[in-house]
Structure 1
Amino acid sequence: MNNIKNKFSIKDLENLSGIKAHTIRIWEKRYNLFQPNRTETNIRYYSLASLQKILNISYLNKNGYKISKIASLNADEIPALVKQIAEENDKNNHTINLLKLAMINFDQGLFYKTYNDLINEFSFKDIFYDVFVPLLDEIGLLWQTDTITPAHEHFIVELIKQKIILNTEKALNNSKPTKDTNAYVLYLPDNEVHELGLLFTNYEIINKGSHSIYLGQSVPLDSLQFLLSQYDEITFVSCFTVKPEKDDLVNYLKEFDSKLLKNTKNKLIISGRMTSLIQDLSNPNITTYKSTKEVLENIQYV
């Protein structure tokens, strides 16, 4: 079965390129840039080639090229010009477009080639913040607007996860682990599965030479208590993206404090969307941040 999406509505083109649908229609009529197809029921749709073309046109337009100039270029000149500009001064946006195409096509080869080109020039940390994070932000919007399916999102997220794990393994191989009385314990609460930010935090902590224990998704509080007997001081790190839910947040933090922080040197650091719903946080041992980047900028390594 061919699962590659190869038919796109004009709304899909708008969502993927950032160019408004009415602008695409004007360009189509005035400059004959696209030739939409029609279904048997006379519904217009665009091909994958049209999507690739609108992404390239959007890129050139954002880099100062007027649409009249772009329309005068032949089919081979447009991608060549995009590549030239990307190599000179704006690689990230072009790279994000390539990764979106890899996602739409379920094309692992294109993902790996694009990533390998990046890793030859930039650190993994820079790739994560400057390429993967903006890409994931865009993917969230594409999913919300039904431009992509959950399968597309899972595909690209799992590929990014592989790269974080690979770089974590390299960091571990380069470190000299010691038995420390202090540790970072990274976990996600029950039914929370969004772990990319936490995985990257784990990578950075290990890269700094500190002791990290990665527990991953959906960890019950009771299972964390065993660690209290193993370490004198623990910094728990978590990310609340969808869990605990709003009505459960206060009780969850009270229970966490009672079981894992009270009468200890332990701390809890939280990032993620749900932290914006935490009101009147007065516990000095619990700190919230908006993003993974903020966590890593403020963390006190032990």
Structure 2
Amino acid sequence: MNNIKVNFSIKDLENLTGIKAHTIRIWEKRYNLLKPNRSDTNIRSYSIESFQKLLNISYLNNNGLKISKIASLKEEEIPVKVREIASRGKVEDHAINAFKLAMVNFDQVLFYNTYNNLLENKTFKDIFYSVFLPLLNEIGVLWQTNTITPAHEHFISVHIKQKILVNIERLQSLEPKPNTSTYVLFLPDNEIHDIGLLFLNYELRSKGYHTIFLGESVPMESLTDLFDYFKNITFVSYFTVYPEEETIEKYLSDFNNLLLKDNNSKLLLLGSKLLNYNNKSLPNRIKIFQSIETLAKEL
């Protein structure tokens, strides 16, 4: 278990659990719920056990238990109460907490046990929308606030991608619907964040469409080769980090002129880089979607 993060600042706990640092201090003082270590300069630090306990406390509190009631529980009763509520209530929040704990601990067994438990009552598609997407949004914030390292982000991303790929593989042998459109999924130069695009590939395949998944960092010019084999292509891409904001308009203009102008093809786009983009300047054959769910409903 080398290189596992075992000490957390109070700000780390705030970011990981959503509980304000001020509230954590009050719970410590009033209810003795956590026992931080203190440095020579009186700075708090928390163990992995404290982090796990706080996740459980947060879950119980969000599910209607008053903090005074939680504080009256014995240490070993808290996870039992969590499992009890999760078994009859909304399991998504509990699963997200478990996945975050797996990420922080680089714990593959916990990841797969949590995923397999979800599969008992949910489809893979349901898990992706109700658990993985919220989890990835939280992880993005945790990474930006330096609560987790890139290694943590890569760990959880790789395991989620593995699940998407397994489910895509189950669809690969199915013939597409007759006369179906061809969807080409790609990421622009230097873009490597492909989880959303992979899941869209799964969605398209599950609906019987013909897809060509090209993946990361595809030069725009190379996409012209597809027209030697297919007509009226629907391109799909995801802008998470690239292109830069100041170059997006030029990229879309160049894409339109090179790949869309003289045919009936189109480009569907998603990604955080486009959330504030001015749609009024878009060429007619390019459309931006605010979420995977919105795009999937239009397919």
Tell me the TM-score normalized by structure 1: 0.94
Superposed CA offset, 1:27-75 (max 9, x none): 1112111111134665321111111111111111111111111111001
Question: Where does structure 2 lack aligned partners over 5 or more consecutive residues?
Answer: none
- In the alignment, which residue of structure 1 is the partner of 2:204? 205
Q: Would you say 1:294 and 2:273 are equivalent positions?
A: no
- In the alignment, which residue of structure 2 is the partner of 1:113? 113
> How big is the shift at 1:145?
1.5
Q: Would you say 1:100 and 2:100 are equivalent positions?
A: yes
**What letter matches 2:148 in structure 1?**
I
> How big is the shift at 1:263?
1.4
Query: 1:138-217 maps to which residues of 2 (within 5 A)?
Result: 138-173=138-173, 175-177=174-176, 182-217=181-216
Q: Would you say 1:233 and 2:232 are equivalent positions?
A: yes
Which stretch of the first structure deviates more once superposed, 257-266 or 210-219? 257-266
SS at match of 2:240: coil
> How big is the shift at 1:171?
1.6
**What letter matches 2:27 in structure 1?**
W
Query: 1:114-129 maps to which residues of 2 (within 5 A)?
Result: 114-129=114-129
CA distance in 1 between partners of 2:3 and 2:170 (Å):
34
CA distance in 1 between partners of 2:9 and 2:133 (Å):
26
- In the alignment, which residue of structure 1 is the partner of 2:247? 248
Count residues with an aligned counterpart.
Answer: 298
Equivalent pair of 1:181/1:231 in contact (CA under 8 Å): no
CA distance in 1 between partners of 2:291 and 2:279 (Å):
17
- In the alignment, which residue of structure 1 is the partner of 2:283? 283
RMSD of aligned Cα (Å): 1.6
CA distance in 1 between partners of 2:180 and 2:294 (Å):
25
> How big is the shift at 1:282?
4.4
Equivalent pair of 1:237/1:269 in contact (CA under 8 Å): yes
Tell me the TM-score normalized by structure 2: 0.95
Q: Would you say 1:265 and 2:238 are equivalent positions?
A: no
**What letter matches 2:107 in structure 1?**
D
SS at match of 1:263: coil
Q: Would you say 1:29 and 2:68 are equivalent positions?
A: no
> How big is the shift at 1:177?
4.5
CA distance in 2 between partners of 1:240 and 1:11 (Å):
30
Equivalent pair of 2:237/2:270 in contact (CA under 8 Å): yes
SS at match of 1:46: strand
CA distance in 2 between partners of 1:298 and 1:104 (Å):
37
> How big is the shift at 1:12?
1.1
Equivalent pair of 1:7/1:47 in contact (CA under 8 Å): yes
Question: Where does structure 1 lack aligned partners over 5 or more consecutive residues?
Answer: none
Equivalent pair of 1:238/1:269 in contact (CA under 8 Å): yes
> How big is the shift at 1:259?
1.2
CA distance in 1 between partners of 2:227 and 2:204 (Å):
20
Superposed CA offset, 1:184-205 (max 9, x none): 0000000111111100000111
Identity within the alignment, %: 57
CA distance in 1 between partners of 2:178 and 2:158 (Å):
32
